[in-house]
Structure 1
Amino acid sequence: MLQTKQKIFRSFYFPVMPVADLQDGPKPFKLMGENIVLWLDDEQKPAAAIDRCCHRTARLSKGELRNGCIVCPYHGWAFNRDGKCTWFPQSELEDPPKVYKIKGYHCEERYGYVWVALDTPIRDIPKFRYSDNPDFRKVDEFYEVIHCAAIRLMENSFDVAHVNFVHKNTFGDLDNPIPPKVTITPNEWGFEAYMEIPVHNKLNQKVQALNMDDERTVRKQLSEWFMPFIRQTNITYPTGLIHSIVTCTAPIDDDTCQLVQFVYRNDREEDVSAKSIIAFDRNVVDEDMDVLETTDSNVSLDLAKKVENHMLSDQPGILMRKMLLELFDKYGEQEMC
């Protein structure tokens, strides 16, 4: 499975850019292999459309704004968020012909990011746990390109067997390599996976990121998968601290994704600084990427048909693949390379 070849993924929302990045004008982005342009309309709401003018195919992202519309840099044609041409200076017509239009996309702002669906969405943007809880703060962590398939990152997020090896320098425990039991509860658009993971607090994590003195502890972890490429991992420590990581990936092409990650925490800046939280999670993400970026982008879903031959720690990833196969079948799409 190559991620951009699955048409049904076009019907999901993906976070593509911090909305603050649009304050100084339109920006380009590539989603599912398609070049799009993003901008803020006259109500300061994000809009998205194909990054090609219908006149002579110039890149609209090199243009500017006029009354909330994107203006082509070539001949000055302006298009609204629905893709309709609202003005072209070469004509005296007050209302340009309806055939003068470009493709507009579904576009929303949520959690400080611009979310885009290329086709009619089959579900809304997920509502994340703690997002409207006043006892939790939000720490924005990472917005960067990663060189692996989105499903690889999703599977890795639920793979408890890799922790003690990939993360041996941050919180893994090589003295206890046997992965814990995982309890999985499926739902319509994904699943929840609960596990209790013994960890070894290293790199001053216990002081800088956790505000605790114990060298070893147990993380109670409830991870949620939102189809196709979003997860929220809610980690509860014995101190009562909750560290809830939201990780989203937007497919750029078959080999790369845009990573968006932020964290909800039930503490305050004076307890643990945002800088310390980001620094520790930076180490963890770098450890994962060092391995994930070596993997093949063409992910076979055949493993979903051989579940009996895999380790128990593979079960979340196997279920993920089975549910994607069911999604393809439901919407009449065959798995394509």
Structure 2
Amino acid sequence: MLQTKQKVLRSFYYPVMPIADLQDGPKPFKIMGENIVLWLDEEQKPAAAIDRCCHRTAKLSKGELRNGCIVCPYHGWSFNRDGKCTWFPQSELEDPPKVYKIQGYHCEERYGYVWVALAAPITELPKFRYSDNPEFRKVDEFYEVIHCAGLRLMENSFDVAHVNFVHKNTFGDVDNPKPPKVTITSNDWGFEAYMEIPVHNKLNQEVKALNMDADRTVRKQVSEWFMPFIRQTNITYPTGLIHSIVTCTTPIDDDTCQLVQFVYRNDREEDVPATSIIAFDRKVVDEDMEVLETTETNVSLDITKKLENHMLSDHPGILMRKMLLALLEKHGEQEVY
């Protein structure tokens, strides 16, 4: 699937930038192949619009702010969060004509990030477990570009058969390649997959992120998929520790995404420093990307064939593909390769 060619995917919210990055002025970003500009309005709420002035097509992200509006660096035209031109200094008109406008986008702040939808959203922003629970802390981990399609990473997140091979140096067991049973419960905009995974604790021995000494353990894992490219994996260890990973892949173009990842944990900084938690997940992400960035971005699971023994009809990746294809069909689209 070429992610920028499916119009309905523009109708979802994606995290594009930490809200803190906008404190010193407007910033550019590319989402779904579109160049946009982000800024904070008069109420310090994030705003997003096309990064091109309607006058002489200059990049607005090179400009500055005036009364919560983005000001073009070329001729000083100003635009509000709705895209309306509020002032242009070459005219004495107090209210510029309505045709003087740029494309504004849906923009919200949540979980410390700016979220943008390029078209009218068809679903709300995801609600993450533990985000409002005072017994959990939030650790921001990664904000970086990856050379991998969003769907490819989502499929990988629910493909437990890869664990014992890709992650054999951290927590996988290559001598026990049979994947665990997965129980799936679907909903309107995704699904929940439950599994119990026996793992080595080799990675924990290196970075001490789990605050436990056992060589092996069983991870009880509830992974939630939020259509199209967001997942939350909630891992419960026998000690009662919950390590809940939120991973978002925001499409930049057809070959790259912005990876946004943060974690919720029911422990304390003095027991396990955030640096250890980040190092723990850094190893896992690096192992995944070493493989995923070698794959072809426009090739997804073939739901018509059982190419692998683990690709059964109830495999999460198969259900993911079926739900996305149903969404495309509902909106009169076909999958573009």
Shorter-chain TM-score range: over 0.9
Per-residue CA deviation, residues 101-159 of structure 1 (Å, 9 max, x unaligned), is 00000000000000000000000100001110111000000000000110010000001
User: Paired residues, what number?
Assistant: 335
Deviations along 1:217-268, one digit per CA (max 9) or x if unpaired, are 0000000000000000000000000000000010000000000000000001
Q: Paired residue for 2:258?
A: 258
- Matched letter for residue 64 of structure 2: E
Local SS of the residue matching 1:61? helix
Tell me the secondary structure at the aligned position of residue 61 of structure 2. Answer: helix
State the 1:175 CA deviation. Answer: 2.2
Q: Does 1:311 align with 2:302?
A: no
Does the 8 Å CA contact 2:205/2:213 hold for their aligned counterparts? Answer: no
TM-score, structure 2 as length reference: 0.97
Distance 1:313 1:200, change over 3 A: farther
SS of alignment partner, residue 282 of structure 1: helix
- Whole-angstrom CA distance in 1 between matches of 2:232 and 2:205: 21
Distance 1:320 1:299 in 2: 14
The answer for the alignment partner of 2:275 in structure 1 is 275
| Aligned twin of 2:26 | 26
For residues 103-252 of structure 1, the aligned pairs below 5 Å read 103-205=103-205, 208-252=208-252
Which has the higher mean CA deviation after the structures are superposed, 109-118 or 177-186? 177-186
Identity across the alignment (%) = 85
Q: Which amino acid aligns with 1:15?
A: P
1:3 and 1:34 map into 2 onto residues whose CA distance is 12
Please say if residues 19 and 114 of structure 1, whose CA atoms lie closer than 8 Å, have aligned partners that are also in contact.
yes
Corresponding residue for 2:69?
69
Question: What SS does the corresponding residue of 2:324 show, helix, strand or coil?
Answer: helix
3-state SS, counterpart of residue 184 of structure 2? strand
Further displaced range: 197-206 or 170-179: 197-206
1:292 corresponds in structure 2 to 292
2-structure distance, mates of 1:178, 1:190: 26
Deviations 1:70-95 (Å, cap 9, x if unpaired)?
Answer: 00000000000000000000000000
* Cα 1:139/1:40, change in 2 over 3 Å: same
The alignment's TM-score, normalised by the length of structure 1, stands at: 0.97
Specify the SS of the correspondent of 1:280. Answer: helix
CA distance in 2, matches of 1:162, 1:298: 20
CA deviation vs aligned residue, 1:285-324 (integer Å, no higher than 9, x gap): 00000000001011246x1233x55433561111111110
Distance change >3 Å, CA 310–CA 165, structure 1 → 2: closer
CA contact (8 A) 1:161 1:313 kept: no
Give the AA of the match of 1:253. Answer: D
Q: 1:69 to 1:215 in 2, by over 3 A?
A: same
C-alpha contact (below 8 Å) 1:181/1:313 kept by paired residues: no
Match in the other structure for 1:323: 323
Distance in 2, matches of 1:313 and 1:7, equals 28
Q: Is the 8 A contact 1:220 1:236 kept in 2?
A: yes
- Structure 1 window deviating more from structure 2 (199-208 vs 151-160): it is 199-208
The answer to whether residue 95 in structure 2 is matched with residue 95 in structure 1 is: yes
Aligned-residue Cα RMSD (Å) equals: 1.2
Q: Any conservation in 2 of the 1:206–1:214 contact (CA below 8 Å)?
A: no
- Name structure 1 gaps, 5 residues minimum: none
Aligned to 2:11: 11
Quote the Cα distance in structure 1 between the aligned partners of 2:155 and 2:205: 25
Residue 311 of structure 2 contacts residue 318 of structure 2 at CA under 8 Å; is this kept in 1?
no
What is the CA distance between 1:174 and its match in structure 2? 1.6
| Helix, strand or coil at the partner of 1:305 | coil
